[in-house]
Amino acid sequence: LSSSLSDVSRQAGVSLSTASRALDPEATHPVNKDTRKRVVEAATRLDYRPNPMAQGLRARRLKTIAVIVHEILDPYFAEIVRGAAAEAAAHGYLTFVCSSQRDPARESSYVDMLRRSRVAAVLFAAGELDDRRARAEIASQVAAIHRYGGAVVALAPRVERWPTEVTDNVGGARLAAEHLIELGHRRIAFIAGPEHVRTSKEREAGYLGAMLEAALEPIIERGDFTMGSGATATARLLQRRSEVTAIAVASDTMAVSVLAELGRRRLRVPEDMSVVGFGDMPGWEYSHPALTTVRIDLAEIGAAGVRRALAQIDGSDRPPRVRVHPVSLVSRESTTSLRAVSRR
Amino acid sequence: LSSSLSDVSRQAGVSLSTASRALDPEATHPVNKDTRKRVVEAATRLDYRPNPMAQGLRARRLKTIAVIVHEILDPYFAEIVRGAAAEAAAHGYLTFVCSSQRDPARESSYVDMLRRSRVAAVLFAAGELDDRRARAEIASQVAAIHRYGGAVVALAPRVERWPTEVTDNVGGARLAAEHLIELGHRRIAFIAGPEHVRTSKEREAGYLGAMLEAALEPIIERGDFTMGSGATATARLLQRRSEVTAIAVASDTMAVSVLAELGRRRLRVPEDMSVVGFGDMPGWEYSHPALTTVRIDLAEIGAAGVRRALAQIDGSDRPPRVRVHPVSLVSRESTTSLRAVSRR
DNA sequence: GTGAAAGCGCTAACAG
DNA sequence: CTGTTAGCGCTTTCAC
């Protein structure tokens, strides 16, 4: 079977502890050069790999991180997971993925499993769910995780005051709105997410800021960040305010179905309606019309979350608690200036 | 901190072993009813949860499964992961996600980590990569996994003769082609995946079978299953064979950019060109035109993979080695019958 | 039906 | 610089 440290120590003719010290990557304890060489050779010969469970049992913490998302199918979260998993792997960590499907019970049960497994870190990629009981449950689980020396990091704005790596939501939405204003649009609607979701609130605030500054009337319709919700929100919006010429959407995920609804109503994008998204989902630049959107480096946020968690664990983390990641606007095919466009 | 079994045994006034036996969910060893009650009460009071690492260290296997995918951003794989993780959680297992980005080195390194971690099962959601060295490496890692009692399951056709849960690729592609033939199309092209990928080969075979049976000439262009590759393949196809009126695509992922390329060339779908995909990615039914496609229950394949792995572990798995999951055609907006349609 | 003890594989405190 | 020893938390003989 797999060879253990005791096999290596026997082969090298040293004690267990010497073998352990010789193989310690940190090389914290002094070991004779020749001895180390002998041990390393034996280890190589035997294809020795330390057993993470044994290490974990001792260290009271498994070298593993977990990412909690609302929906792994949503490219927004998938991209965060990808970035986090890649960074984690580079540090020798494996990554658990927990997709709650926005179900508080499911989320609680996941966090409970994670706590029991003594994962080194939990990254909350999603905002808190709208459920008091679940939030209290999470809080106590997180306290337990902290007690055994595990780290918890938020990758979205949350009520809890955890270390946070987050997108510049306000700035991004402002960028989107300003882009449309510069193109000459005046009737600019915003399709937001649910009221209680902070990410959505922040993006809404950015939009409102830009609109107020330009002395334009805000027009807000609400989706729920799921794929299909953009379509229904668009339908409501158009019924209510058919004079709108541009729509800023709080997420690319919703923007897809905004585009679809527009297509179904025979409204051409961008000739009849400009649309700007938020997120810049990788791969979607191949769709048509390619979406003008606010670019977030989601993979980097995931990776930063892992680094942050690791820093928390080894005590090297420094303020500020909330780190904001910059965004930028990528202009593609779905927006154009307000000119003599054929209106309904 | 977290309470251990010894805390429970002390509280209940019994020995460690009795406590362990009383709490054993299998209830394999006889325990006095009252004793068990006392132990269970103590455990509840102390909010006791067994430590998976200690259990794993002893059982030589961590109650954890891993899914290896090419690209977690691809909804095809994300959906498999989601199904697998849900089923795994129902059995008390957590799920590692390993996105290789189609890089053999990365895949090998993941499998190595998984082996060291003694994961209970590894699910290969992706076909084998085109790299002899990596394949040999994987083979030896998998042998090691089997040696410690771990399971390995394939969720796509592979050279290795592992237990397999797989889509009916041949039947699905046949369904797609037959659908177009029934609609009256004669010039039907197929956008396949890379030649060495078995999933693609099988779908290609299904298409070829239907075409040959109908005495129609097959027209094949090749993409690589990435998001963007549908567009370039479509461009090549149209340049070569502009008389084509329908396209079957080997994956929804590629179909998105097929649609985009068609849109860019001002070809309307389905009026100028019918398109049928493969996969039925959840959420994409909201795009416009909604894609006619071959429906695969990917979440079920992931879940079946987990059940299969668990059966392997407890020795209850029975033939056949390869289990084929049925598919169906969902007809939406992207296909229509060949009538007097305006051709270029 | 219960308890004592060994051991899974590793690290670190303690002695030398 | 090296070795001995204890123990992380659990399950499972082996004895009674």
Nucleotides of D under 7 A from a protein CB: 1-13
Residue of A nearest to B80 (CA): A73
DSSP codes joined into one string, A117-132: TTEEEEEE-SPPPS-H
pLDDT tens per residue, range B106-120: 999 999 999 999 999
User: Distances from the Cα of B81 to the Cαs of A238, A282, B78, B168, B175, in angstroms?
Assistant: 37, 19, 5, 19, 26
> Helix (H, G, I), strand (E, B), or coil: what is residue A242?
coil
Closest listed residue to residue B18, CA positions, set B45, B37, B46: B37
Asked if A332 contacts A285 with a C-beta cutoff of 8 angstroms, the reply is: yes
A3 burial (CB, 10 Å; 0-12 / 13-18 / 19+) is middle
As a whole number of angstroms, the distance between CA A113 and CA A210 comes to 44
Mutate to test the interface with B, among A4, A63, A72, A253 (most CBs of B within 10 A): A72
Interchain contact, B73 vs A283, CB within 8 Å: yes
Question: How distant is C1' of D9 from CA of B6, in Å?
Answer: 8
What pLDDT band is residue B344 in, cutting at 50, 70 and 90? Answer: very low
Residue B305 CA to its chain's centroid (Å):
8
Question: How distant is C1' of D6 from CA of A18, in Å?
Answer: 16
Half-sphere exposure of B262 (CA within 13 A, CB side): 24
Q: How many beta carbons lie within 10 A of that of residue B274, not counting itself?
A: 25
Burial readout A63-94 (b: 16 or more C-beta within 10 A, e: otherwise): bbbbbbbbbbbbbbbbbbbbbbbbbbbeeebb
Q: Is B258 a residue whose pLDDT tops 70?
A: yes
Tokens of B190: 């197929």
CA dihedral (A128, A129, A135, A139) positive or negative = negative
- Of A23-32, B54-63, B318-327, minimum mean pLDDT range: A23-32
Shortest distance, CA B122 to any CA of chain A (angstroms): 13
Which residue in B2, B94, B286 is closest to A256 by CB distance?
A: B286
As a whole number of angstroms, the distance between CA B293 and CA B315 comes to 38
For residue B109, the chain A residues in CB contact (below 8 A) are 89
Phi, psi of B61 (to 5 degrees): -165, 130
At which residue do the structure tokens 């999933």 appear? B199
Interchain contact, A57 vs B53, CB within 8 Å: yes
For nucleotide C5, give the residue with the nearest CA to its C1': B17
Instruction: Using CA atoms of B130, B133, B134, B136 in order, give the dihedral in degrees to the nearest 10.
Output: 110
pLDDT, one tens digit for every residue, chain A (344 residues): 678 999 999 999 999 999 999 999 888 888 899 999 999 999 999 999 999 999 999 999 999 999 999 999 999 999 999 999 999 999 999 999 999 999 999 999 999 999 999 999 999 999 999 999 999 999 999 999 999 999 999 999 999 999 999 999 999 999 999 999 999 999 999 999 999 999 999 999 999 999 999 999 999 999 999 988 999 999 999 999 999 999 999 999 999 999 999 999 999 999 999 999 999 998 888 888 999 999 999 999 999 999 999 999 989 999 999 999 999 999 999 999 987 464 44
Shortest distance, CA A188 to any CA of chain B (angstroms): 23
Residue of A nearest to B2 (CA): A144
For residue B286, the chain A residues in CB contact (below 8 A) are 227-228, 230-231, 256-257, 260
- The pLDDT score that the predictor gives to residue A344 is 40
Question: How distant is C1' of C4 from CA of B49, in Å?
Answer: 24
Q: List the beta bridge partners of residue A99.
A: A69
- Mean pLDDT over the full length of chain B: 94
What pLDDT band is residue B287 in, cutting at 50, 70 and 90? Answer: confident
Residue range B122-149: average pLDDT? 93
Instruction: Using CA atoms of A108, A110, A116, A122 in order, give the dihedral in degrees to the nearest 10.
Output: -100
Asked if A81 contacts A305 with a C-beta cutoff of 8 angstroms, the reply is: no
What contacts A32, CB < 8 A, 6 or more positions away? none
Q: List the beta bridge partners of residue A108.
A: none
As a whole number of angstroms, the distance between CA A231 and CA A275 comes to 13
Give, rounded to a whole angstrom, the gap between the first and last alpha carbons of chain A.
74
Tokens of B69: 């995918």
Phi, psi of B147 (to 5 degrees): -60, -35
A279 close to B (CB below 8 A): no
Asked if B188 contacts B215 with a C-beta cutoff of 8 angstroms, the reply is: no
What contacts B88, CB < 8 A, 6 or more positions away? B65, B94, B95, B306
- The pLDDT score that the predictor gives to residue A1 is 65
User: Is strand C in 7 Å reach of the CB of A27?
Assistant: no
Q: Is B285 a residue whose pLDDT tops 90?
A: no
Residue range B18-25: average pLDDT? 93
The pairing of strands B292-295 and B328-330 is antiparallel
Residue A260 CA to its chain's centroid (Å):
26
Mutate to test the interface with B, among A2, A58, A68, A97 (most CBs of B within 10 A): A97
Shortest distance, CA A119 to any CA of chain B (angstroms): 10
Which residue in B66, B73, B285 is closest to A75 by CB distance?
A: B73
Where are the alpha helices (H) located in chain A, listed in sequence order? 5-12, 16-23, 33-46, 52-59, 75-90, 104-116, 132-147, 169-182, 198-213, 229-240, 252-264, 298-313
Record the pTM: 0.95
Which residue in A97, A99, A288 is closest to B260 by CB distance?
A: A288
Tokens of B261: 């390329």
Interchain contact, B147 vs A98, CB within 8 Å: no
B193 close to A (CB below 8 A): no
> Helix (H, G, I), strand (E, B), or coil: what is residue A75?
helix
Question: How distant is C1' of C7 from CA of B8, in Å?
Answer: 21
Which A residues 218-257 touch B at CB under 8 Å? 226-228, 230-231, 256-257
Residue of B nearest to A112 (CA): B49
Under the phi-then-psi rule, with left for phi > 0, alpha for psi from -120 to 50, and beta for the rest, what region is A164? beta
Nucleotides of C under 7 A from a protein CB: 1-13
B47 close to A (CB below 8 A): no
> Helix (H, G, I), strand (E, B), or coil: what is residue A39?
helix
Q: How many beta carbons lie within 10 A of that of residue A98, not counting itself?
A: 27
Tokens of B339: 């009538």
- The pLDDT score that the predictor gives to residue A241 is 95
Size of interface A-B (CB pairs under 8 A): 168
For residue B50, the chain A residues in CB contact (below 8 A) are 116
For residue A73, the chain B residues in CB contact (below 8 A) are 75, 78-79, 82, 282-283
How big is the CA angle at A291 (ends A289 and A294), to the nearest 5 degrees? Answer: 170
Question: How distant is C1' of D8 from CA of A325, in Å?
Answer: 40
Residue range B155-179: average pLDDT? 97
Question: How distant is C1' of C4 from CA of A96, in Å?
Answer: 38
Asked if B125 contacts B77 with a C-beta cutoff of 8 angstroms, the reply is: yes
Q: How many beta carbons lie within 10 A of that of residue A171, not counting itself?
A: 18
- The pLDDT score that the predictor gives to residue B27 is 87
As a whole number of angstroms, the distance between CA A163 and CA A153 comes to 5
Which residue in A53, A99, A109 is closest to B57 by CB distance?
A: A53
For nucleotide D13, give the residue with the nearest CA to its C1': B17
User: Is strand C in 7 Å reach of the CB of B253?
Assistant: no
User: Is strand C in 7 Å reach of the CB of B23?
Assistant: no
The radius of gyration computed from the CA coordinates of chain B, to the nearest angstrom, equals 25
For residue B52, the chain A residues in CB contact (below 8 A) are 116-118
* Cis omega (within 30 of 0) for bond into B163: no
Asked if A269 contacts A289 with a C-beta cutoff of 8 angstroms, the reply is: yes
Shortest distance, CA A88 to any CA of chain B (angstroms): 11
CA dihedral (B159, B160, B163, B165) positive or negative = negative
What pLDDT band is residue B340 in, cutting at 50, 70 and 90? Answer: very low
Give, rounded to a whole angstrom, the gap between the first and last alpha carbons of chain B.
73
Residue of B nearest to A86 (CA): B99
Q: List the beta bridge partners of residue B249.
A: B191
Element spanning A322, H or E: strand A322-325
As a whole number of angstroms, the distance between CA A342 and CA A340 comes to 7
User: Is strand C in 7 Å reach of the CB of A32?
Assistant: no
Give the total residue count for chain A. 344
pLDDT tens per residue, range B186-244: 999 999 999 999 999 999 999 999 999 999 999 999 999 998 899 999 999 999 999 99
As a whole number of angstroms, the distance between CA A199 and CA B249 comes to 37
As a whole number of angstroms, the distance between CA A117 and CA B237 comes to 52
Tokens of B191: 């956008």
As a whole number of angstroms, the distance between CA A31 and CA A42 comes to 16
Tokens of B192: 């396949």
A50 close to B (CB below 8 A): yes
Tokens of A318: 């420094």
A117 close to B (CB below 8 A): yes
Shortest distance, CA A257 to any CA of chain B (angstroms): 5
- The pLDDT score that the predictor gives to residue A43 is 94
- The pLDDT score that the predictor gives to residue B284 is 84
Question: How distant is C1' of C7 from CA of A21, in Å?
Answer: 22
